[in-house]
Amino acid sequence: MNPPADRDTALHLRTMVDSAPALLAYWDTSLRCRFANRAYETWFGTAPQGLIGRSLPELLGAELFALNEPYIRQVLAGNVQTFERLIPGPAGTRRHGLSTYIPAIEHGVVVGFTVHVAEISQLKAAEAALRSSEQRFRTLAECAPIGIFESDTAGNRSFTNSRWQQIYGLTPQQAATDAPSHLLHPDDQAQVLAARDRALTQARPFDMVFRIQHPDGRIRTLHTQAQPLLDEQGMQSGYVGTVEDITDRQQAEQRLRDSEALLDRTGRLAAVGGWQVDLRDGTATWTDQTRRIHEVDADYRPTLEEAIDFYAPEARPTITAAVQAGIDHGQAWDLELPFVTATGRARWVRAFGEVEFENGVAVRLVGALQDVTASRQQRLQLDQAQLARAASEQHAQALDQLLRERSEMLDVLAHEVRQPLNNASAALQGAASAIGSVGALPVVERLERAQAVLATVMASIDNTLAVASLLARPEPIQRTDTDIDLTLDC
């Protein structure tokens, strides 16, 4: 034996035990301390020397000893015990400990037990933080408007939230066991499964839009995104992802596209465009038709001042005053003004506008712009036509007056002139007969010449009255073919 060497070994062992942060002690079957390291002073405020001979109930106190007593009985029965315990200490400290009781057996008889207690406070705090984090995640997942899932590398789901289950129409039990691939639309199934398999085997993100046939028979469109999960060694351990039912959004987007297309078509047909100006930052928004009216590029973004500069110089004070009155007093405007496009073409536009207010402050101008060049030209042509019609009506009235006066003159000619001539012709004929009976032939010849002259005058009057009567007839003159020689012979 070598007592100095033994003492050195014992000293080294003591130093090692005292430097350990865990509790190390030996208790006999009467629960008296026979050895304790320096960690007991830190945990319980009692130096190791002061523990020798003290009982375990005295050290732990009645409450903590009662909790540990079942494990003490088991270790004294020869069974190793491991358990966790929250251990109170001096100045109100509390430590989580992982306790291990190891029986000391000599010749088959338990003569005591070794206690090893490692502090796991940080581990328990990490576990608590992890539980809290998981609880927050699950709470958030249940509140999320999108489906959330987690799966292993084989695609088996380890978690789904209630929204995921609603989207696929599966119960929680079905979501945990049934693969939703049977719900895939037949036209999409092969493509979706192939993309999923590639993502799983290559540890790549998955992002795809596809259709499913819901258990209630409806066709729904889903957007699924997933990212691979990696363990500490960078190896793929599964996937976490989201699924969103975008059916309603797609339908709304399609309705919006249809509405915008209809608005664009009607805007083209009516030559009406819309516009908006944010007074807070000065940005202007134009519809496509508004840009077409201005003859600018599709990406043109003007300021309010640049938009006003498109009006003809003589019209700018008018539109500027209207806009300012709208901002100051909330007055809407409806103006028809000359306008010059970006290509220099002179046009006429009808400008509508009003102001939107928030808390009494003007924040936005909104309105419409209509190209009225064609309608304005039509109005001008209509005005000219109306003036011409009025002149024509006035001319017709004057002509009608002339016709009435002519008719009156012809009546006078027919009654006041022709009738006396008839009477004179008859008198001449009677005088010629009377004088001829007495043999005054020279006189008779003169009377006959006078009668012939009267006949010529009366024929001219008759022709004039006939032509006037023909022109005064309401029906159109009809053309009739005739033989002039036959007419003259008659």
DSSP states of 174-233: HHHH--GGGGB-TTTHHHHHHHHHHHHHHT--EEEEEEEE-TTS-EEEEEEEEEEEE-TT
In tens, the pLDDT along 288-318 reads 999 999 999 989 988 889 999 999 999 999 9
DSSP SS3 for 127: helix
Per DSSP, what are the bridge partners of residue 34? none
| CB within 8 Å of 36: residues ≥ 6 apart | 23, 24, 25, 26, 48, 51, 52
Write b or e for each residue in 20-49: b if 16 or more Cβ atoms lie within 10 A of its Cβ, otherwise e.
Answer: eebbbbbbeeebbbebbbbbbbbbbebebe
DSSP states of 288-318: HHHHHHHT--TT----HHHHHTTB-TTTHHH
Q: Please state, in angstroms and rounded to a whole number, the distance separating the CA atoms of residues 449 and 455.
A: 10
Per-state percent for the chain, helix, strand, coil, to nearest 5: 50, 25, 20
Q: Please state, in angstroms and rounded to a whole number, the distance separating the CA atoms of residues 120 and 204.
A: 38
Report whether 252 contacts 279 (CB < 8 A).
Answer: no
Length, in residues, of the chain? 490
Q: What is the pLDDT along the chain (490 residues), one digit of tens a residue?
A: 566 666 777 788 888 898 899 999 999 999 999 999 999 999 999 899 999 999 999 999 999 999 999 999 999 999 999 999 999 988 889 999 999 999 999 999 999 999 999 999 999 999 999 999 888 888 888 888 899 999 888 878 889 999 999 999 999 998 888 778 889 999 999 999 999 899 888 889 999 999 999 999 999 999 999 999 988 888 888 899 999 999 999 999 888 888 777 777 766 766 788 899 999 988 888 989 999 999 999 899 888 899 999 999 999 999 999 999 999 999 999 999 999 999 999 999 999 999 999 999 999 999 999 999 988 888 888 888 888 788 778 887 877 787 677 677 766 666 666 677 777 777 777 777 777 777 667 777 777 777 777 778 777 777 776 666 666 555 555 566 666 666 556 5
CA-closest candidate to residue 228, choices 207, 251, 257, 259: 207
Q: Please state, in angstroms and rounded to a whole number, the distance separating the CA atoms of residues 441 and 432.
A: 9
Superfamily of domain 144-245: PAS domain (3.30.450.20)
CA-closest candidate to residue 73, choices 113, 46, 34, 133: 113
Question: H/E element holding 380?
Answer: helix 373-412
Q: What DSSP state is assigned to residue 415?
A: I
Residue 356's pLDDT is 93
**Rg of the Cα atoms in the chain:** 60
Question: H/E element holding 95?
Answer: strand 94-106
Question: H/E element holding 108?
Answer: none
Residue 471's pLDDT is 60
CA-closest candidate to residue 41, choices 14, 23, 61, 68: 23
Report whether 243 contacts 223 (CB < 8 A).
Answer: yes
Tokens of 381: 């042509």
Q: 479 to each of 476, 482, 486, how far by Cα in Å?
A: 9, 10, 18
> Is CATH 3.30.450.20 what the domain over 15-124 is classified as, yes or no?
yes
How many CA atoms does the CB half-sphere of 54 hold within 13 Å?
17
Residue 153's pLDDT is 83
Tokens of 42: 């830190």
Residue 1's pLDDT is 54
Q: 272-376 has which CATH code?
A: 3.30.450.20
In tens, the pLDDT along 25-74 reads 999 999 999 999 999 999 999 899 999 999 999 999 999 999 999 999 99
Residue 139's pLDDT is 85
Tokens of 99: 């306790």
Report whether 308 contacts 324 (CB < 8 A).
Answer: no
The answer to whether the Cα torsion of 461, 463, 465, 468 is positive or negative is negative
Tokens of 116: 């090893």
| CB within 8 Å of 7: residues ≥ 6 apart | none
Residue 380's pLDDT is 86
Q: Please state, in angstroms and rounded to a whole number, the distance separating the CA atoms of residues 472 and 394.
A: 20
Residue 376's pLDDT is 87
Question: H/E element holding 344?
Answer: none
